[in-house]
Amino acid sequence: MAQMTMIQAITDALRTELKNDENVLVFGEDVGNNGGVFRATEGLQKEFGEDRVFDTPLAESGIGGLAVGLSLQGFRPVPEIQFFGFVFEVMDSISGQLARMRFRSGGVYNAPVTIRSPFGGGVHTPEMHADSLEGLMAASPGLKVVIPSSPYDAKGLLISSIRDNDPVIFLEHMKLYRSFREEVPEEEYTIPLGEAAVKREGTDLSIITYGAMVQESLKAAEELEKEGFSVEVIDLRTIQPLDIKTIIASVEKTGRVVVVQEAQRQAGIAANIVAEINERAILSLEAPVLRVTAPDTIFPFSQAETVWLPNSKDIIATAKKVLTF
C-alpha cells in the first residue's frame, strides 16, 4: 500500500496497463516528454518509449480520429483531451464515431478507447477549462462515462475503463487531483464500471452525487449528523450507465433524497436520477427529490467561482428542506 494523490493513482493505472497490454497507447497534447500538463503521464514515455506514449499535433478532432483509426488496427488507445471544455472540437469523433463503431458495423468492429480528460471548478482556471459537460456524454448511446472522486477509485476504475472493449469517457476533476492522499494498493485491481459506492451509511436521507461534490456531500453529512440527522452518501462513480440498484435500495431505506452535481441545473445528470427514482420508488418517498446544482449560466469568470459553485452549505440547506418537508 502507498499513500497516493488521485493524479499519482491515475499515472499508476496507466503504467499498469501499458505494462500489461502492448496494445495500450497513450497519446495527446504534451503527454509525452512533458508528462502531461498535470503530470498524469509523468515518466511513462521514458519507461515505455515514444512508440507507446506520444505527443500529437494540437487538434482534438484529429486525436479522436487517430483513436478510431488505431483501434481499427487492434490497438487499445488511451488518448487525452487536455481540458474537457475542448470536447466540442471532438464531439463527432466521440459521439458520432467512437460511440457508434460497434453498432454501425453490426458488431464487426469495436472501439476499445478510453478518453481521459480533466474538468471541474474551484481552481480558477481560464475560460472553457472547468465546465462540467458529462451530461453531453451521458446522452450518447454507446459510451460509458466514469468520474472518480478518490485516488483508490481512480486507479481501479481507470484500469477497468482501459480493459473495457467499448469507448469510455474518464473524467478527472482537477480539484481532486492533489487535494488529498489515500491508501492505494500498488498491485493491480479493478472496480467494475456501473457500480456506485456507498461512501457513508445513513438512514434519514440519501445524497446521490459524483465528482468533487462527493467531498462536499461528505462534509455536509458530517454537519448534519451534529444536528442529529443520519445521512447516506452515494458516490455514483459511473454516471452512465447508472447503478440503479444501489440508488433505489438507498432511497427505499431513507425515503428522502437530494441529488448533488456541480453542473448547471439544466445540464449534468441529476434530472435522470430524479426521473429514475420517480419511476421506481415513488411509494418510498416522504418528500420530493430535490437537486443541488449550479445556476443555469455559462461557467463563471474565475473570481466568481466561490459564489457560483455548489458547496456543502448549499447541500445542507437543501437537505434540511427535504428533511423537514
Partner 1 sequence: MVAKNVKQLGPVEILQEIEEKFEMFQILNEEGKIVNKDADPKLSDEDLTELMRRMVYTRILDQRSISLNRQGRLGFYAPTAGQEASQLASQFALKKEDFILPGYRDVPQIIWHGLPLSQAFLFSRGHFMGNQIPEGVNVLPPQIIIGAQFVQAAGVALGMQKRGKKSVAVTYTGDGGSSQGDFYEGINFAGAFKSPAIFIVQNNQFAISTPRELQTAAKTIAQKGIAAGIPSVLVDGMDPLAVYVATRDARERAVNGEGPTLIETLCYRYGPHTMAGDDPTRYRTSETDSEWEKKDPLVRFRAYLETKKLWDEEKENAVIEQAKEEIKAAIKTADGAPKQKVTDLMEFMYGDEMPFNLKEQYELYKEKESK
Can you tell me whether residue 259 is helix, strand or coil? strand
**Minimum Å distance from CB 77 to partner 1?**
8
Please identify, among the stretches 37-45, 89-97, 121-129, 249-257, the one whose residues bind partner 1 according to the rule CB under 8 A.
89-97
Beta-bridge mates of residue 27: 54, 79
Can you tell me whether residue 219 is helix, strand or coil? helix
Please identify, among the stretches 49-57, 123-131, 210-218, 287-295, the one whose residues bind partner 1 according to the rule CB under 8 A.
49-57
Cβ pair 244, 276 in contact under 8 A: yes
Residue 82 to residue 31: CA distance in whole angstroms: 9
Among 30, 37, 39, 110, binds partner 1 (CB under 8 A): 110
Residue 116 to residue 59: CA distance in whole angstroms: 15
Among 61, 179, 230, 302, binds partner 1 (CB under 8 A): 61
Cβ pair 115, 94 in contact under 8 A: yes
Q: What is the CA radius of gyration of the chain?
A: 19
x-or-dash pattern for partner 1, window 147-166, by CB under 8 A? Answer: -----------------xxx
Question: How many residues belong to the site for partner 1 (CB under 8 A)?
Answer: 45
Look up 124 and say whether it is catalytic: no
β-pair type (205-209, 197-200): unpaired
Residue 272 to residue 247: CA distance in whole angstroms: 12
Q: What length is written for the chain?
A: 325
Q: Does 245 bind partner 1 (CB under 8 A)?
A: yes
Among 1, 106, 283, 303, binds partner 1 (CB under 8 A): 106
Q: Which of 52, 76, 116, 129 is catalytic?
A: 129
Among 242, 257, 258, 323, binds partner 1 (CB under 8 A): 242
Please identify, among the stretches 99-107, 170-178, 204-212, 293-301, the one whose residues bind partner 1 according to the rule CB under 8 A.
99-107
The residue among 91 and 128 lying less far from partner 1, judged by its C-beta, is 91
Cell of 46: 521514458
Cell of 82: 487536455
Q: Does 139 bind partner 1 (CB under 8 A)?
A: no
β-pair type (257-264, 205-209): parallel
Among 18, 24, 31, 70, binds partner 1 (CB under 8 A): 70
Q: Active-site positions? A: 129
Residues binding partner 1 (CB under 8 A): 25, 51, 56-57, 59, 61-62, 64-75, 92-93, 96-97, 102-110, 141-142, 144, 164-166, 194, 240-245
